[in-house]
Amino acid sequence: MVGVSAEPAVEQPDEEAAESASPSASDDEGWTDAEPTTAPPRLSVVGAVGLGGTAAAFLVAGSLLAGAVGLLAVALLGASLSSVSRRLCSVAGGVFVLAVLAAGATAAPAAPVVGGAVLAVAAWDVADHGIGLAKQVGREARTTRNELVHAAASLGVTSAAGAVAFGVYLGAAGGQPAAALVFLLVGGVTLLAALRR
């Protein structure tokens, strides 16, 4: 049986409610107020540098000078990713264009020039996208699917443009120099860059 007292009831503070209302150090485990790391996701870094290195390898197959300029572009691309600089990334893209022009100026075979140009544009685009992700969401965000889809789309578009340029080159009268192909590719890349902005 429950006893009833005639004394007025005094409400005691609920200890559990007080503990849950006040934050404690144990409640904040795993959470910090720190800003996200402003660095490109690792997949973008590896993808851009890998594509750029492969582009330089294609260009060196056409001309040693073009390969050397391509390696400089890869170094600049890596520096742009480590410093999270779109301006430096654009400079790296411009140096890649110079590498492709150098390959065309030395009468390199068309296939390595086209392959190098396609991979160079894709490398620049993947790096630029990675820098954008770094500035927007940081390295900690889960962006793998976004990066893979973007890289695949970039390779698809640049490969299609390269195939069209190579087809035009092959369809033209046989003795066309590789420089004509290079200028066609540079025009296509410029158009793609203008449409992207």
Token pair listed for 114: 């086209």
**Confidence band of 194 (pLDDT split at 50, 70, 90):** low
195, 144 Cβ separation under 8 angstroms: no
- What lies within 8 Å, CB to CB, of 100 at 6+ separation is 59, 66, 113, 116, 117, 120, 182, 185, 186
Query: Which of these, 71, 79, 172, lies nearest to 120 by C-alpha position?
Result: 71
How far, CA to CA in Å, does 68 sit from each of 64, 92, 102, 127, 182? 6, 13, 10, 20, 17
146, 133 Cβ separation under 8 angstroms: yes
Percent of the chain with pLDDT over 90: 36
End-to-end CA distance of the chain: 81
Average pLDDT of the chain to the nearest whole number: 79
Q: Looking at residue 13, what is its pLDDT? A: 54
**Confidence band of 127 (pLDDT split at 50, 70, 90):** very high
Picking from 59-63, 127-131, 180-184, which range would have the lowest pLDDT averaged per residue?
Answer: 180-184
- Determine the average pLDDT of the residues in 98-105: 88
CA 188 to chain centre: 20
**Confidence band of 93 (pLDDT split at 50, 70, 90):** very high
- Determine the average pLDDT of the residues in 92-121: 89
pLDDT reading at 122 higher than 80: yes
Q: Looking at residue 34, what is its pLDDT? A: 60
- Determine the average pLDDT of the residues in 18-46: 65
Picking from 48-57, 68-77, 131-140, which range would have the lowest pLDDT averaged per residue?
Answer: 131-140
- Determine the average pLDDT of the residues in 45-54: 94
Q: Looking at residue 195, what is its pLDDT? A: 56
Picking from 9-23, 33-47, 114-128, 148-162, which range would have the lowest pLDDT averaged per residue?
Answer: 9-23
pLDDT reading at 111 higher than 80: yes
- Determine the average pLDDT of the residues in 146-157: 89
